[in-house]
Structure 1
């Protein structure tokens, strides 16, 4: 509930207050200003100045915001991984979707190499996908550097598999644009077909998991992505040995 900018104006006494409040938040929300002053050995005036520095008109407003902050940190009711994957299987893996997987695998099989791209947790899975495809004798590499130079004739004989839950990350969109302009075929795996990344791709596989967040952290289940990567890799391997 305190920003870095606000902390830049803190005095030593403010830091003393901040340390006490963050360590005893459940207790502070029921204190009077004089109680807190006694506990932290500062004056009520120092506490009021502290409150103004964190954009509160007084101690009462500060306690209200602190209580809201505590409430937001309570454990959320999260979807179980089993439910998320079962929902993906039931809603997505129908006949047309299976046909699409086979079509994409056939396209991958005919290219010389595969480029994997993703950021955050998607970047970790992109690296896994690269290793998995390479283990099945399809040369693959993972680009984790957002400033990696993307150009050259070799791009025209490549397929790029781009992972993104939202499909809206500016960094991912920019890298995907450069790959497309250099001639790489774009295959995206996203949580929805309506995102920008899906629309700019040659092929898209959407898995429609329930989006979940803990504060700003996106914890949407990635089990469908792992399934799709392994399924595509094995279908590609089979396609390479039947064509």
Structure 2
């Protein structure tokens, strides 16, 4: 656990689904967790105490007591940065992603995109709106792009050759984007997924994946209102690098 970010990207990648549920619960119930016993946390998340201890170990702690101490220090250091929107989550994301591995992947994907004829964003709901924004940004930078939000849009054979498909989905398990991506993969398109977690169906289908590992928020257990600031950052960073490469040609 660093002074700047609660968990590193590498630590998050090492966690399984249950351990990520623990992480999300902790980020949603910060103050309560500080006063919980390990059994109480296990009961709240519906996991075993062994799973809690495994999570603590992957977070760099020798036990739950040590984790709570380090977590309290983390909260104290970020207290002045907090607001109702919890800006500390954003800062945590930027600290985690500001690594050479992220920019190396941006470079690799951007170089491939430059050779593509067009970029096609796919997504529904909020992800579809972000796809429209992404297409506009790439168009502004000189790369022809558009967004498909309707999962029933017919795709003519051969119409998407030499294209880059960028799929947006928080969970990576929404059936409509998965179906659309399956159609595009038959066209031998380059594929990129931007999802919250790496271990999801959509990410596994694609050539490249960008993940942001943010706690998921839902309204009425139906509407996913997980922040999309990381998605905008990833899209803009990728688009700017594509523009720079185009200008070098």
TM bin (shorter chain): 0.5 to 0.7
Q: Which residue of 1 aligns with 2:205?
A: 200
Give the equivalent residue in structure 2 for 1:174. Answer: 179
* Shift in CA distance, 137/194, structure 1 to aligned 2, threshold 3 Å: same
Deviation at 1:240, TM superposition (A): 1.5
Query: Which of 84, 88, 92 is the matching residue for 2:89?
Result: 84
Task: Classify the secondary structure of the residue corresponding to 1:156.
Answer: coil
> Are the equivalent residues in 2 in contact too, given 1:110–1:240 (CA < 8 A)?
no
Question: 1:24 aligns to what?
Answer: none
**TM-score, length-scaled by structure 2:** 0.64
Aligned counterpart, 1:232: 238
Mapping of 1:59-98 within 5 angstroms? 80=85, 82-98=87-103
Q: State how far apart, in whole Å, the 2-side matches of 1:212 and 1:92 are.
A: 21
Structure 2 residue matching 1:155: 3-state secondary structure? coil
Report deviation, 1:81.
5.2
Aligned length: 166
Q: Which stretches in structure 2 are left out of the alignment for 5+ residues?
A: 1-82
Tell which structure's C-alpha radius of gyration is larger: 1
Cα distance in 2 for residues equivalent to 1:194 and 1:79: 30
User: Does the CA contact (< 8 Å) of 2:120 and 2:146 recur in 1?
Assistant: yes
Backbone CA RMSD of aligned residues: 1.4
2:146 to 131, 141, 150: 141
Instruction: Report deviation, 1:79.
Output: 6.8
Q: How far is 1:153 from its partner?
A: 2.0
> 2-side partners of 1:152 and 1:132: how far apart?
27
Counterpart secondary structure, 1:193: coil
CA offsets 1:186-240 (integer angstroms, 9 cap, x no match): 1010001100000110000001111111211111110000111111111011111
Correspondence list, 1:2-151, <5 A: 80=85, 82-151=87-156
Q: TM-score, normalised by structure 1?
A: 0.66
User: Structure 1 residues 94 and 225, CA, compared in 2 at 3 Å: closer, same or farther?
Assistant: same
- Distance in 1, matches of 2:113 and 2:119, equals 7
Q: From the superposition, tell whether residues 87 and 242 of structure 1 become closer, same or farther in structure 2 (CA, over 3 Å).
A: same
Aligned to 2:21: none
Mapped contact 2:141–2:239 kept (Cα < 8 A)? yes
Conservation of the 8 A alpha-carbon contact between 1:211 and 1:219:
yes
Partner of residue 241, structure 1:
247
Contact map agreement 1:84 1:221 (CA 8 A) in 2? no
Determine the C-alpha separation between the residues in 1 that align with 2:247 and 2:159: 23
The answer for the alignment partner of 1:164 in structure 2 is 169
Structure 1 unaligned regions, length at least 5: 1-77
